[in-house]
């Protein structure tokens, strides 16, 4: 399969062609051609392609439309034929678009409606779509959205504390650069030889646009950008975080209108507002020559990034790795050093020589932390086009077979005990009494019960599920957490590092342990059902209710495949109540629902 990818901006166009070898999987996808046009203007633009060995030259193309129409000739001269689909980067997809999406007229209309939320990005993205549909009318056109990766962010991270009718109108945080953050998180896990779902990562995408992303156990849980790409870090021409009260102040004191203020925050702020230049290379050179404004800009830029690292490490309960990417993140050793200095208290320290010797060819992801420090620090080139191609290919290749109907089980609060916990709660050597078998083979509910004790209150008569485990795990609902007075994170079973402590009380004593979680929705699936629907262990899918309930679709449901599992979906009681589930309910899952593999 051969896919052409466009990443269009207001002053640039990047494009590439990617191949999936016959019979090969998505990880084996290779880029077979790449090119870019940069800095459109009256005098033309800079461009580079594989045709001239990547050397930057001048081209007469003055705008995005002209450059896009030049791509077919370049591909022809390079001998690139057999393209089967075109993928496009779309900055803002709102809350609806969770995965690569075929660009129908209806989808394009919805993307157009989101333009006010990304005025620097969506218009250029859509212009490239328009021209590509004209040039390649017979090829399917697909969109991959910057916002999709962040739709796993919890409500507490995306909800603004503003009036309800504002929120009802769509005011919320979305986050951007999702394709970049997703790629570098996966690349870092690969470089570290770890499963992404076991890691707590912070990705810093530092370029003309800049953002930080917290990736916990395989999912984005927070991003520095908000409803629009204005919020967060200092950028080339964008302000990042500001007090929203400045709109009223500037209106009263300077007579500025909303449009004027918003335009200045997008186009005349950030590094440009502080120094007159949006290029960090220029700012660093001027700072080294003694320019006080440039020196202040660099300090502000690094300070803002360092604050987000600390905040996100706290939000995740720790940090395993920090990743630098983007033009500044990849190419400025001094900025990496400024951002990391002072973080030794959390086990993060750079090695001077490794930081200076970064080489990023062939998708390298070198580590630059000091030897013996706890937090890994990596640098890697972002590969948004590669990620777009992967997601388009995955959507095209997804099985289109019949849907699979699965039962949905509501998982009430319960505990899984270790041997040590049983001894403390019921007495040394005590054996739990299996009382009722569960549908998952070999699992059962015990006759015994325990009490959960928190700083606000207690929950009595909590079920114990067997068999025993190596670590005690306590699963509650979000409402239970408020009753106990403890903030339990949403985690997959077994992902217990950094989770809160809870006290269990039994007839023989008490047991204090961490391992308190809200169980993330998941599907236990046997191998035969997984093969039928084209899924693998670790895939994430959507499931739509087909009986009773309120017609709800559950997103981001993890597939856990074992040979003899009873295929069913597990959700907690709060989710069941929100969906109006009572009694037996079925959900419908199809191969087309696959969102991603981690």
| pLDDT exceeds 60 at position 443 | yes
Residue with tokens 């485990």: 469
pLDDT confidence tier of residue 454, bands split at 50, 70 and 90: very high
Mean pLDDT, rounded, for 209-222: 94
Res 585: pLDDT: 62
Nearest one of 325, 319, 290 to 209, comparing CA atoms = 325
Length of the chain: 598
Q: How confident is the model at residue 238 (pLDDT cuts 50, 70, 90)?
A: very high
Query: pTM value?
Result: 0.86
pLDDT at 583 over 80: no
> What is the reported pLDDT for 582?
65
pLDDT digits (tens, 9 = 90+) for 457-513: 999 999 999 999 999 999 999 999 999 999 999 888 998 988 999 999 999 999 999
Spell out the residues 6+ positions from residue 286 whose beta carbon is closer than 8 angstroms to its own: 275, 277, 293, 294
For residue 10 the two structure tokens come to 């207001």
Cα–Cα–Cα angle for 209, 211, 216, rounded to 5 degrees: 150
Reported as type and span, the H/E element at residue 390 is helix 384-397
pLDDT score of 576 more than 50: yes
Which residues fall within 8 angstroms of residue 467, CB to CB, at 6 or more apart?
A: 442, 443, 444
Judge whether 343 and 302 are in contact, CB under 8 Å.
Answer: no
- Comparing 102-106, 339-343, 551-555, which segment has the lowest mean pLDDT? 551-555
Tell me the C-alpha distance between 251 and 245, whole Å.
10
**If we measure between CA atoms, which residue out of 294, 370, 372, 289 comes closest to residue 335?**
294
Query: What does the pLDDT read at residue 595?
Result: 34
pLDDT digits (tens, 9 = 90+) for 334-352: 999 999 999 999 999 999 9
Share of the chain above pLDDT 90, in %: 75
Choose the catalytic residue: 52, 63, 73, 146.
146
Q: How many helices (H) and strands (E) does the chain have?
A: 19, 29
Please tell me the least confidently modeled range out of 259-263, 394-398, 414-418, 447-451.
394-398
Q: What is the mean pLDDT of residues 570-591?
A: 71
On average, the pLDDT of the chain sits at: 91
Residue 553 token pair: 């679709």
How far CA 346 is from CA of 46, 133, 221, 342, in Å, comes to 43, 50, 20, 9
243 is catalytic: no
pLDDT recorded at residue 69: 94
Query: For position 398, what pLDDT does the model report?
Result: 67
Q: What is the largest CA-CA distance in the chain?
A: 83
Q: Which helix (H) or strand (E) holds 37?
A: strand 30-41
588/408: higher pLDDT: 408
Q: How far apart are CA 346 and CA 374, in angstroms?
A: 8
Q: From CA 124, how far away is CA 229, in angstroms rounded?
A: 15
> Helix, strand, coil proportions of the chain in percent (round to 5)?
35, 30, 35
> In DSSP terms, which residues pair with 437 in a beta bridge?
444
CA atoms of 211 and 230, how far apart (whole Å): 10
**1: pLDDT confidence band, cut at 50, 70 and 90?**
confident
Q: If we measure between CA atoms, which residue out of 522, 585, 533 comes closest to residue 555?
A: 522
235-239: average pLDDT = 97
Summarize the confidence of residues 199-204 as an average pLDDT.
97
Mean pLDDT, residues 220-243 taken together: 97
């Amino acid at each position: 399969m051969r896919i052409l990818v466009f990443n269009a901006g207001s002053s640039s166009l990047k494009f590439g062609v990617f191949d999936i070898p016959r019979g090969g999987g998505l990880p084996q996808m290779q880029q077979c051609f790449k090119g870019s046009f940069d800095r459109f203007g009256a005098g033309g633009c800079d461009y580079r392609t594989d045709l001239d060995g990547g050397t930057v030259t001048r081209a007469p193309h003055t705008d995005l439309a002209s450059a896009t129409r030049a791509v077919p000739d370049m591909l022809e001269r390079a001998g690139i034929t057999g393209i089967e689909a075109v993928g496009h980067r779309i900055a803002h997809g709102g809350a609806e678009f969770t995965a690569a999406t075929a660009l129908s007229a209806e989808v394009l209309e919805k993307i157009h409606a989101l333009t006010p939320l990304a005025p620097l990005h969506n218009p250029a993205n859509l212009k490239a779509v328009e021209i590509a549909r004209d040039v390649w009318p017979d090829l399917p056109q697909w969109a991959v959205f910057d916002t999709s990766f962040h739709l796993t962010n919890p409500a507490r991270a995306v909800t603004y504390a503003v009036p309800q009718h504002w929120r009802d109108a769509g005011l919320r945080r979305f986050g951007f650069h999702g394709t970049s953050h997703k790629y570098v998180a996966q690349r870092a896990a690969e470089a570290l030889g770890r499963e992404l779902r076991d890691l707590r990562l912070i990705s810093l995408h530092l370029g003309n646009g800049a953002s930080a992303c917290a990736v916990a156990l395989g999912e984005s849980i927070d991003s520095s950008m908000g409803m629009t790409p204005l919020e967060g870090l200092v950028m080339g021409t964008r302000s990042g975080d500001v007090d929203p009260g400045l709109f009223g102040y500037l209106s009263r004191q300077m007579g500025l209108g909303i449009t004027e203020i918003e335009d200045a925050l997008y186009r005349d702020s950030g590094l440009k507002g502080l120094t007159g230049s949006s290029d960090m290379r220029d700012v660093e050179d001027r700072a080294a020559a003694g320019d006080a404004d440039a020196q202040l800009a660099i300090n502000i830029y690094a300070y803002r990034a360092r604050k987000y690292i600390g905040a996100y490490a706290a939000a995740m309960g720790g940090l395993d790795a920090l990743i630098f990417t983007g033009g500044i993140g990849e190419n400025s050793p001094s900025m990496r050093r400024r951002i990391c200095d002072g973080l030794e208290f959390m086990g993060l320290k750079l090695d001077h020589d490794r930081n200076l010797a970064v080489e990023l060819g062939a998708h390298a992801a070198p580590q630059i932390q000091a030897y013996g420090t706890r937090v890994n620090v990596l640098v890697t080139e972002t590969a948004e086009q590669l990620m777009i191609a992967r997601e388009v290919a995955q959507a095209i290749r997804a099985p289109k077979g019949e849907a699979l109907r699965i039962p949905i089980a509501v998982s009430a609060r319960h505990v899984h005990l270790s041997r040590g916990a049983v001894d403390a709660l019921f007495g040394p050597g005590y054996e739990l009494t299996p009382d009722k078998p569960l549908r998952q083979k070999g699992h059962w509910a015990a006759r015994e019960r325990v009490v959960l004790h928190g700083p606000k209150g207690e929950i009595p008569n909590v079920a114990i599920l067997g068999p025993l485990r190596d670590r005690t795990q306590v699963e509650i609902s979000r409402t239970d957490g408020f009753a106990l007075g403890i903030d339990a994170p949403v985690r997959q079973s077994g992902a217990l590092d950094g989770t809160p402590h809870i006290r269990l009380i039994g007839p023989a004593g008490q047991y204090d342990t961490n391992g308190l979680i809200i169980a993330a929705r998941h599907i236990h699936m046997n191998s035969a059902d997984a093969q039928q629907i084209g899924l693998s262990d670790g895939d994430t899918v959507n499931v739509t209710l087909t009986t009773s309930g309120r017609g709800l679709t559950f997103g981001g449901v993890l597939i856990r495949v074992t040979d003899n599992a009873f295929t069913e979906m597990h959700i907690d009681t709060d989710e069941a109540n929100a969906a109006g589930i009572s009694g037996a309910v079925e959900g419908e899952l199809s191969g087309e629902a696959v969102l991603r593999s981690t």
